[in-house]
Structure 1
Amino acid sequence: MDRRVKDYLQHFQLSDLFPEYVQRDMIVATYESGERLFSQGDDAHTLYFLVEGKLKISMLSPEGKRLILAFKTPLDIVGDIEYVRDCRFINTVEAVTDIVVIGISYTILRKDMSDNAAWLQFLLETVTKKFETKTRAMNFSLLYAVDVRVASYLLSMTPTQPKLDSTSLIDMADLIGTSYRHLNRVLQQFEKAGWISKKRGKITLLDRAALLEQAGQNIYE
């Protein structure tokens, strides 16, 4: 068994949830910032426990626009809904920072854990929280002004450093559910207020406290 698996499971108090013979089939994987674990519609065959770093979860709307559902930090799970429903991945998941995940195949889970009451209860709780999160996320555009969503996005995308690649503002606009023009206006307002600077394809956060106040409760977290 990879010693790191055992250490992570102990750290997050999951050791008792998985028998040792199941732990032996778990793997540790790393992804760099910006790298995708999987895309919406990909075949689903692995469940991941996020144990280090930060993830962004998004989905493609029926109109063809990507929308942010949530940002996730440890401990969190991705691939659990697909495991229960036996379907393709329903969201796109990518690393915001460098991340570490523990992966275990659905085949192993179905063979060795399908009758484990503690695991099924754990899974029920996590899946229920996911649907609550998705419901909140789908209401963002109705409940929050664009400047609040932009501030929250900037904060969520820069957990470890103040700079963000701004080369794809169209993607950013789609993710937060607004137009490119509206996003640009909000960014110009933030820059005029001295909260950010835009230079050479980068957005730099200059006043995190002001952005936090603008975002209120960070809605994407």
Structure 2
Amino acid sequence: MIKIKNEKELNYYIEKYKLNNIFEKDIKKYMELHFFKKGEHIYRCDENINYFYFLVKGRAKVYTISKNGKALLLRFYKPCEIIGDIEIIQEIEKERNKFYSCNVESLDNTIWIGISFDNMKKHVKDDIKFLKYISKSLAYKLCQLGNSSVLNLLYPLENRLASYILALTYDTNSNKDIIEIEMCKLKDIAELLGSSYRHLLRTINALSDKKIIERKRNYIKILDGKKLEDLAGDIYK
């Protein structure tokens, strides 16, 4: 994580997403801009967390890891979603530290507005306007979690893979038709999508046979974005 010392850029995102409107008082002086590079974790399950975050640029994925070590993709985050809301409400503490319940990882280079948990507790913990805002956020996440659970169980891997590939195209600084996927990471992707490695390979080959994607050694090229979007639908959104 890199802290960005740029007040003009901070003001731009505050104004763009009307963040001051969700608080009863101006807390801009407690806001910080944080940059996370692609693949970097913002939160890790059961690790200390120090900031409440608004995602203001880029996209992140949220996944959980079960006790048997298996990972499962829950959903993707886009601007201007928040993380840390559950922890603020529950005030999860252990030896005076707070822990996050899932993993949040940058899909591309992301920018977040962070407010330290100490400042959140001091200045907005009892802010009725803010509490209403995160109550709506929690209700939305609850609905999305239910949808994700159903989709992971009922949707074929072909649909889930299409959604995942499209999510990886979000970085506007890259060629949206070419997705770099290291072959060694396919096992991780299979796990995230609740599949076996072999089933994932068969599904990639099936999409290739349909001329929807083209698989190369270290990347996947999208040949028919419309068909891929049709397959993806609203999965993981």
Tell me the distance in 2 between the aligned counterparts of 1:199 and 1:57: 27
1:191 and 2:196 are equivalent in the alignment: no
1:200 deviates by 2.2
Name the counterpart of 1:44.
49
Query: How many pairs does the alignment contain?
Result: 219
> Quick one: which of 170, 174, 177 aligns to 2:194?
177
Cα deviation 1:15-72 (Å, max 9, x = unaligned) = 233333x210110011122111121111122111001111111111233211111111
Q: Contact (CA 8 Å) 1:6, 1:15: kept in 2 or not?
A: no
Tell me the distance in 2 between the aligned counterparts of 1:141 and 1:7: 37
C-alpha RMSD of the superposition: 1.6
Name the counterpart of 1:125.
136
SS at match of 1:59: strand
Gaps of 5+ in 2: 1-5, 93-98
> Quick one: which of 159, 164, 177 aligns to 2:180?
164
Tell me the distance in 1 between the aligned counterparts of 2:106 and 2:236: 15
Name the counterpart of 1:53.
58
TM-score norm. by structure 1 comes to 0.92
1:70 and 2:75 are equivalent in the alignment: yes
Name the counterpart of 1:81.
86
* Runs of 4+ off more than 6 Å: none
SS at match of 2:62: strand
- Letter matched to residue 169 of structure 1: L
Q: Contact (CA 8 Å) 1:166, 1:203: kept in 2 or not?
A: no
- Letter matched to residue 234 of structure 2: N
Tell me the distance in 2 between the aligned counterparts of 1:190 and 1:129: 32
TM-score norm. by structure 2 comes to 0.87
Name the counterpart of 2:95.
none
1:141 deviates by 2.5
1:91 and 2:107 are equivalent in the alignment: no
Cα deviation 1:67-86 (Å, max 9, x = unaligned) = 11111111100111122222
Name the counterpart of 2:96.
none
Deviates more, 1:26-35 or 1:133-142: 133-142
- Letter matched to residue 118 of structure 1: K
1:218 and 2:234 are equivalent in the alignment: yes
Name the counterpart of 1:24.
29
Tell me the distance in 2 between the aligned counterparts of 1:31 and 1:23: 21
1:184 deviates by 0.7
Q: Contact (CA 8 Å) 2:58, 2:170: kept in 1 or not?
A: no
Name the counterpart of 2:116.
105
Deviates more, 1:1-10 or 1:147-156: 1-10
- Letter matched to residue 74 of structure 1: P
Tell me the distance in 1 between the aligned counterparts of 2:85 and 2:180: 30
Deviates more, 1:6-15 or 1:97-106: 6-15
Q: Contact (CA 8 Å) 1:2, 1:24: kept in 2 or not?
A: no
Tell me the distance in 2 between the aligned counterparts of 1:196 and 1:178: 19
Q: Contact (CA 8 Å) 1:17, 1:119: kept in 2 or not?
A: yes
Deviates more, 1:97-106 or 1:1-10: 1-10
Q: Contact (CA 8 Å) 1:9, 1:15: kept in 2 or not?
A: yes
